[in-house]
Structure 1
């Protein structure tokens, strides 16, 4: 489904057709967000327990965002305690685009980015 009907502004495919557990994805920065116009790379790493367990998802692009750890890993409830086997790469990419537009500053992976986002948006945008 991701190859035939990807979410708007997203794409994903296995890095190597011989290993379907590691995927490369791209997300275009959503319109009307600080990320507009950017193209961001992500890596999805699945385990043999998928879809029972979520994949590990991290940005390969450097990101200064309230919900992105320094190593690029994402802090998203859908990738941890709110995981459900109904999620797939398309729903995760859509959730990531949404997170770029509307960060969750109440549970930050990057407290500095969260503080700037909430209190000094001009400095955050730099």
Structure 2
């Protein structure tokens, strides 16, 4: 860890590494301790089950006063995640608080995979599909999981 990092980031990073969240792997990048490579296992009993989703998380200079920047790098069919991997999640926007941590954000993203919210969409086309024909949307999400999130 670089000496120029705030103590809080060092403590959070150490906890993520020594006490990993089940189903989530978070590793700081070798050259930049503010940049994390994240892997989230698709939650059981969700259309994403069996998938391994890669994300990148970046802690801006203002962290913890500003939320981390997080995006999926694995393609995913989800009403709250757009084609660029951006995530519509309250704790990454207006509900961010300095009391929250990287761990909290990752748990919230994992929960979002278990419970998509088509009423607060980022991908409007996916949300419309989810509302009009949920079975078909879930089947598409499963197909994308097999296609794009098979662990590679």
TM-score normalised according to structure 1 size: 0.93
Is 1:73 matched with 2:107?
A: no
The partner residue of 1:56 within 61, 64, 69 is 69
Measured in 1, the distance between the counterparts of 2:49 and 2:113 equals 9
Q: Describe the superposition over 1:24-56 as per-residue Cα deviations: whole angstroms up to 9, x where unpaired.
A: 001000001000010000000111110110111
What value does the CA root-mean-square deviation take over the aligned residues? 1.1
For residues 10 and 123 of structure 1, what CA distance do their matches in structure 2 show?
28
- Asked which structure has the greater CA Rg, the reply is 2
For 2:34, what is the secondary structure of its paired residue? strand
| Structure 2 gaps, min length 5 | 1-14, 141-152
Matched, 1:101 2:129: no
SS in 1 for 2:85: coil
Structure (1/2) with the larger strand percentage: 1
| Mapped partners of 2:37, 2:102: distance in 1 | 11
Tell me which residue corresponds to 2:125: 112
Aligned to 1:90: 103
1:10 is aligned to 2:24: yes
- Work out the number of aligned pairs and report it: 125
Runs of 4+ more than 4 Å apart: none
1:36 — aligned with what? 49
Structure number with higher helix proportion: 2
Task: Give the Cα–Cα distance (whole angstroms) in 2 for the partners of residues 72 and 52 of structure 1.
Answer: 23
- Structure 1 residue runs of 5 or longer lacking an equivalent are none
Which secondary structure does the structure 1 equivalent of 2:33 belong to?
strand
Distance in structure 2 (CA, Å) of the matches to 1:7 and 1:118: 31
